[in-house]
Amino acid sequence: MTTPLSLDPRISFEVAGSGPLVVCVPGMADLRSTFRFTAPALIEAGYRVAIIDLRGHGDSATDFDRYDNPGNAADVAALILHLGGPAVIIGNSMGAAIGALVAADHPERVAGLVLIGPFVRNGKASGLLKAVMRVATSPRLVGFTWKNYLPSLYKGTKPADLPEYLAAVAAGVKGHAKTISATMQTSHDTAEAALPRVHTDVLVVMGELDPDFASPTDEAEWITEQIGGHVLMVPDAGHYPHSQRPDLVVPAITAFLQKVTKNA
């Protein structure tokens, strides 16, 4: 992964607070407001929190030549350098793969990883299913597909503002169909290959009901077998436990941050 010396101005982010740096990375087809419950609590706890929009998502530009994990990881690494790291990276879904790549390639910039509903390897799928998914996530159909699939990822407890949030995500996908379609073709092979080079403190946060994994518990345990760390299994939560059960997730993240940034 080649990382620019300066942050690309086409990348949108917000930052607030003071103290040790935390960088939050959303998953594919999501908005940085996915951390709307997490960031304010961490800022109040004494951290400087930055939230990035992935390439071709939210307020970031749509004219990049790549929308995969390495491209987004280069942006996160550049953001940490820009803001003055090291940082703890909190990554959800694809954002976890991005965080793992940054930790592997730029260990001096990463003080710890919080991996939420992490996709750090490709799931098992037949050739037929892969072909169907390529069609379903094409620019022409991706808005329809994601609008109908996303609610199923919130199994269990629902955020009070979920209808409004789902509408905002659907609008975001509709306005970025080509780039989000390109993002959805991302392979996580690069992230899996990087795992042996991740040597930092890790907290894996997994919803017990996460429908993206055949066994959320087994996936969480597999990740910690590769890179170490601890697992928080979140009851009554799906793929977005940070917004579904902030009552459990925020205290766990705060305790983790206190441990890994105590000398910062």
The predicted-structure confidence for 225-238, as pLDDT tens digits, reads as follows: 999 999 999 999 99
In a domain, 113, yes or no: yes
In a domain, 35, yes or no: yes
In a domain, 2, yes or no: no
Structural domains of the chain, count:
1
For residue 155, the enclosing domain spans 13-260
In a domain, 6, yes or no: no
Which residue, among 81, 83, 108, 78, has the nearest Cα to 16 in the 3D structure? 83
CATH number at residue 235: 3.40.50.1820
Q: Over the stretch 171-212, which tens digit does the pLDDT of each residue have?
A: 999 889 999 999 998 999 999 999 999 999 999 999 999 999
In a domain, 180, yes or no: yes
Please state the pTM of the whole predicted model.
0.94
Compute the Cα dihedral for 126, 131, 136, 137 and give only its sign.
positive
**Distances in whole angstroms, Cα of residue 56 to Cα of each of 6, 172, 235:** 19, 10, 33
In a domain, 3, yes or no: no
In a domain, 17, yes or no: yes
In a domain, 1, yes or no: no
Percent of the chain residues topping a pLDDT of 70: 94
